[in-house]
């Protein structure tokens, strides 16, 4: 029923639909282009996202159902080896390219990345000492959020992003494209490294390991659309782990330092290096298992820290820390559980899309979704187990 041409076409449709939907969320204070035709088109898209919120929410839910359904179909096709590596990489590459010019629909963090770098490139000041609000005349402040904080990330993130703002020469649209291109390259690089690690681990289906990361709708949305810097952080972390597995320890260590210097979270992987150093013959599959456990611990720790006085607040993009390891784990139930968590995590945007504000009980709502995702994942795993046993 689903041959490779149909699968490719369905992903093309899904990627283009997500690209178009992203522009329904363009901030009302932001004009992406002065061209009159573009402004007319942008206004029509904004009307859906800002003034017809029920329709916008319905489209978003429909997109999630479509993408996750297509994800399941693709997993089955790859598991049965009906899609070649060339087919898979065609889909992955297309999704990356088509979503580079998309709008960062579900997060304002990308604007903060750009502004933080501009404090260095444009104002010649230290972002660890100055916050966006200190530059009251800057036009970017009209559509930014979190303007009250100083730079919260590591120095290597500045080293990566400041050159991009120099190149863009204060052209905002160009800055946006450059930063999103950085995320797309990190996404593609991570997918490629997962393939290399899967080969190193001698997994039975290397392509399956790749798509469980690269075609996961949560990974696509949070890394290619919203362009969170976790994807860049994890690219360097996964690259570091791959080099560790092939015993290039010095370069591995350098890349891990770069990763930690972006957002600090990957410091949790340091025990992997200790194990490899003292137990040289330790199985790399065990190290991947430990890496998954450590990444989950990092997600929990970050959630606890970010919630502050409101209690632990989980954010969907935190799962980018865990996503690269899912396809490399042999235990099937891990894949099912992660699928359920990713699906329900993306439901957390629905209240904002529908109301235009985050409800007061959003922390509790996210916790309920997270728990529901776990239950859904476990349920799907056992249902699949029962169905397969009956077929057998």
pLDDT tens by residue, 207-253: 999 999 999 999 999 999 999 999 999 999 999 999 999 999 999 99
Cα separation of 7 and 12, whole Å? 9
Torsion angles phi and psi, residue 183, rounded to 5: -65, -40
Between 343 and 389, residue with greater pLDDT: 343
pLDDT in tens, 121-176: 999 999 999 999 999 989 999 999 989 999 999 999 999 999 999 999 889 999 99
Instruction: Give the relative orientation of helices 85-99 and 172-200 as an angle to the nearest 10 degrees.
Output: 160
Between 76 and 384, residue with greater pLDDT: 76
The pLDDT of residue 2 is above 80 = no
Quick one: pLDDT band at residue 38, thresholds 50, 70, 90?
A: confident
Give the rounded percent of residues in the chain with a pLDDT score beyond 70.
97
Nearest to 337 by CA among 297, 374, 298: 374
50 CB contacts (<8 Å, ≥6 apart)?
24, 28, 356
The pLDDT of residue 71 is above 50 = yes
Nearest to 103 by CA among 229, 247, 245, 225: 225
pLDDT of residue 384: 86
What tokens appear for 81 in the block?
């080896």
What tokens appear for 224 in the block?
């290619």
Measured at the alpha carbon of residue 322, what is the angle toward residues 76 and 192, in degrees to the nearest 5? 65
pLDDT of residue 312: 65
Q: Are 353 and 56 in contact (CB under 8 A)?
A: yes
Q: Please spell the DSSP secondary structure of 6-21, one letter per residue.
A: HHHHHHHHHHHHHHHH
26 CB contacts (<8 Å, ≥6 apart)?
32, 42, 45, 46, 49, 103
313 CB contacts (<8 Å, ≥6 apart)?
303, 306, 307, 362, 363, 366
Q: Are 248 and 338 in contact (CB under 8 A)?
A: no
Q: Are 365 and 65 in contact (CB under 8 A)?
A: no
- Given the structure tokens 């502004």, which residue do they identify? 115
**Average pLDDT score over the chain:** 94
Cα separation of 155 and 260, whole Å? 10
pLDDT of residue 32: 84
The pLDDT of residue 361 is above 50 = yes
pLDDT of residue 31: 85
- Given the structure tokens 């969320």, which residue do they identify? 25
Give the rounded percent of residues in the chain with a pLDDT score beyond 90.
85
pLDDT of residue 153: 96
Which of the 8 DSSP states describes residue 134? G
Cα separation of 383 and 377, whole Å? 10
pLDDT of residue 240: 97
The stretch 361-388 carries a mean pLDDT of: 91
Q: Please spell the DSSP secondary structure of 213-226, one letter per residue.
A: HHT-HHHIIIIIIS
Q: Which helix (H) or strand (E) holds 67?
A: helix 53-79
Q: Are 312 and 363 in contact (CB under 8 A)?
A: yes
Nearest to 294 by CA among 321, 263, 268: 268
The stretch 310-331 carries a mean pLDDT of: 90
Quick one: pLDDT band at residue 389, thresholds 50, 70, 90?
A: low
pLDDT of residue 253: 94
The stretch 202-209 carries a mean pLDDT of: 95
Cα separation of 153 and 143, whole Å? 21
Quick one: pLDDT band at residue 357, thresholds 50, 70, 90?
A: very high
What tokens appear for 243 in the block?
């080099």
pLDDT of residue 392: 45
Can you say whether residue 308 is alpha, beta or left, with left for phi > 0 and alpha for psi between -120 and 50 degrees? left
Cα separation of 180 and 375, whole Å? 34
- Given the structure tokens 């899609």, which residue do they identify? 83
Q: Please spell the DSSP secondary structure of 276-329, one letter per residue.
A: HHH-TT--HHHHHHHHHHHHHHHHHHHHHHHHGGG-----GGGGGGTHHHHTT-
The pLDDT of residue 332 is above 70 = yes
The pLDDT of residue 311 is above 70 = no
pLDDT in tens, 289-310: 999 999 999 999 999 887 554 5
The pLDDT of residue 58 is above 70 = yes
Can you say whether residue 311 is alpha, beta or left, with left for phi > 0 and alpha for psi between -120 and 50 degrees? left
The stretch 173-200 carries a mean pLDDT of: 97
Q: Are 56 and 75 in contact (CB under 8 A)?
A: no
Cα-only R_g, the chain: 21
- Given the structure tokens 């020469």, which residue do they identify? 169
Quick one: pLDDT band at residue 33, thresholds 50, 70, 90?
A: confident
């Amino acid at each position: 029923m689903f041959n490779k041409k149909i699968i490719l076409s369905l992903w093309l449709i899904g990627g283009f639909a997500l690209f178009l939907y992203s522009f329904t969320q363009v901030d009302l204070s932001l004009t992406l282009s002065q061209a009159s035709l573009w402004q007319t088109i942008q206004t029509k898209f904004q009307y859906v996202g800002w003034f017809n919120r029920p329709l916008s929410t319905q489209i978003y839910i429909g997109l999630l159902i479509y993408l996750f359904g297509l994800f399941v179909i693709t997993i089955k096709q790859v598991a049965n080896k009906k899609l070649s590596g060339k087919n898979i990489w065609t889909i992955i590459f297309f999704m990356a390219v088509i979503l580079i010019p998309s709008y960062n629909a579900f997060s304002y963090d990308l604007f903060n990345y750009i502004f933080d770098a501009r404090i260095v490139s444009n104002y010649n000041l230290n972002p660890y000492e100055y916050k966006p609000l200190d530059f009251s005349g800057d036009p970017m402040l009209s559509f930014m959020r979190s303007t009250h904080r100083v730079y919260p990330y590591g120095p290597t993130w500045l080293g990566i992003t400041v050159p991009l703002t120099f190149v863009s020469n204060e052209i905002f649209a160009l800055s946006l494209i450059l930063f999103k291109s950085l995320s797309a390259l990190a996404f593609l690089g991570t997918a490629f490294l997962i393939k290399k690690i899967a080969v190193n681990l001698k997994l039975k289906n290397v392509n399956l390991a790749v798509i469980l990361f690269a075609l996961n709708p949560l990974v696509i949305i949070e890394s290619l659309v919203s362009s969170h810097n976790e994807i860049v952080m994890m690219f360097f972390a996964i690259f570091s782990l791959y080099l560790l597995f092939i015993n290039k320890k010095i370069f591995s260590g350098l890349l891990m330092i770069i990763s930690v210097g972006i957002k600090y979270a990957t410091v949790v992987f340091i025990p992997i290096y200790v194990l490899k150093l003292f137990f040289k013959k330790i199985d790399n599959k065990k190290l991947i298992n430990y890496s998954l456990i450590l990444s989950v611990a990092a997600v929990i720790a970050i959630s606890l820290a970010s919630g502050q006085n409101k209690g632990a607040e989980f954010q969907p993009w935190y799962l980018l820390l865990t996503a690269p390891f899912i396809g490399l784990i042999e235990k099937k139930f891990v894949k099912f559980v992660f699928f359920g968590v990713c699906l329900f995590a993306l439901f957390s945007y629905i209240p904002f899309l529908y109301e235009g504000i985050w409800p007061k009980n959003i922390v509790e709502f996210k916790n309920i979704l997270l728990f529901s995702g776990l239950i859904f994942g476990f349920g799907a795993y056992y249902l699949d187990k029962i169905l397969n046993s009956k077929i057998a």
